[in-house]
């Protein structure tokens, strides 16, 4: 391997944290990956990685060299991309991850709009509740809903803001007195959403006059998918929290009714996350622009309709 190839392998080892993961990613062998790093260490006369049977750790010299390598490789990628117009004209395959509810209600339509504008881009959409490893899974963009994002080397852009509201079927409320204050929820079966960013055992609500924390008790019904939650609520199973973008059409049609309409959950941000690079491919930048224009505006319209913001 030449020096640039060895640098590229070293960068991937630091980012993936494993010789085996890099070997699988490059369709190579652990021995080849190890030799690439050793060649750099011999060239530099410095230890870049501390190796043990259980883990790898980056030395101080390795961290400084990694930062230099990423800049050098990014500049090289940019030069190659400019030659092929990848930074100027969206083309190729865009691999996108998105949390399921947001994908079904907003992001899929945004992708259709994006494809109409840039037909030379093929989009692969992966739905999953959990944030993937973009490098290992070879994904370009991840679209998430979270209060905050964990520290990482990724770059993120805020697309918009989402809230959840309490809803029930009109048939359910015809048989059960609607709650007047949050404390009244104790008398109702509560449907619980259990995902990475929503704790099933606690509802944190706020209104213009104050806040309330409700802990559902007794036998209930929990699920990890917001659309499944909407089906259960519409069927009269009880009261549930639904994201505004998931509930808005059913509320407008009368299939669902707001419960404690002055209350909603604390806001959660919708982020587009992508790998940290100095230069970003046009297919990614144009896609994020489409998300902001389409998904961001719909989230804002929903918030104005339901929250008044």
Intrachain domains 3-83 and 164-265 with the same fold: no
* 10-residue averages of pLDDT along the chain (309 residues): 89 92 92 94 93 84 93 84 71 94 96 97 94 89 88 86 95 95 92 69 86 80 87 94 94 97 93 80 93 96 89
* Domain boundaries along the sequence of the chain: 3-83, 92-161+270-306, 164-265
Q: Which residue has the tokens 């809803």?
A: 167
- So what's the pLDDT on residue 201? 63
Pairing of strands 141-146, 92-98: parallel
CATH fold group of domain 92-161+270-306: D-Maltodextrin-Binding Protein; domain 2 (3.40.190)
- So what's the pLDDT on residue 209? 87
Q: What is the CATH number of domain 164-265?
A: 3.40.190.290
Which is nearest to 36 in space by CA: 49, 75, 137? 49
Domain 3-83 classified CATH 1.10.10.10? yes
- So what's the pLDDT on residue 222? 85
Contact 213, 183 (CB under 8 A): no
Residue 295 DSSP symbol: I
- So what's the pLDDT on residue 52? 78
């Amino acid at each position: 391997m030449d020096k640039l190839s060895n640098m590229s392998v070293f960068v991937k080892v630091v980012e993936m944290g494993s010789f085996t993961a890099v070997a699988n990613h490059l369709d190579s062998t652990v021995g080849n990956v190890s030799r690439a790093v050793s060649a750099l260490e011999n060239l530099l006369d410095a230890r870049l990685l501390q190796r043990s049977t259980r883990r790898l750790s980056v030395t101080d010299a390795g961290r400084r060299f990694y930062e230099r390598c990423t800049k050098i490789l990014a500049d090289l990628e940019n030069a190659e991309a400019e030659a092929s117009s990848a930074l100027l004209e969206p083309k190729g395959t865009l691999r996108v991850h998105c949390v399921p509810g947001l994908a079904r209600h907003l992001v899929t339509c945004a992708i259709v709009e994006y494809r109409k504008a840039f037909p030379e881009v093929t989009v692969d959409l992966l739905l999953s509740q959990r944030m993937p490893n973009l490098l290992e899974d070879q994904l370009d963009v991840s679209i998430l809903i979270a209060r905050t994002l964990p520290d990482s080397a990724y770059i993120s852009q805020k697309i918009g803001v989402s809230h959840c509201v309490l809803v029930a079927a009109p048939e359910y409320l015809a048989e059960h007195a609607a709650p007047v204050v949050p404390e009244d929820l104790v008398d109702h079966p509560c449907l619980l959403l259990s995902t990475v960013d929503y704790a099933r055992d606690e509802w944190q609500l706020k209104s213009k006059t104050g806040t309330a924390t409700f802990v559902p008790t007794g036998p209930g019904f929990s699920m990890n998918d917001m659309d499944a939650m909407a089906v259960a609520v519409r069927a009269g199973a009880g009261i549930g929290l639904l994201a505004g973008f998931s509930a808005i059409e059913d509320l407008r049609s009368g299939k669902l009714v707001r419960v404690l309409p002055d209350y909603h959950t604390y806001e959660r941000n919708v982020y587009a996350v992508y790998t940290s690079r100095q230069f970003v491919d046009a297919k990614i930048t144009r896609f994020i622009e489409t998300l902001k224009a389409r998904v961001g505006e719909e989230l804002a319209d929903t918030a104005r309709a339901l929250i008044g913001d």
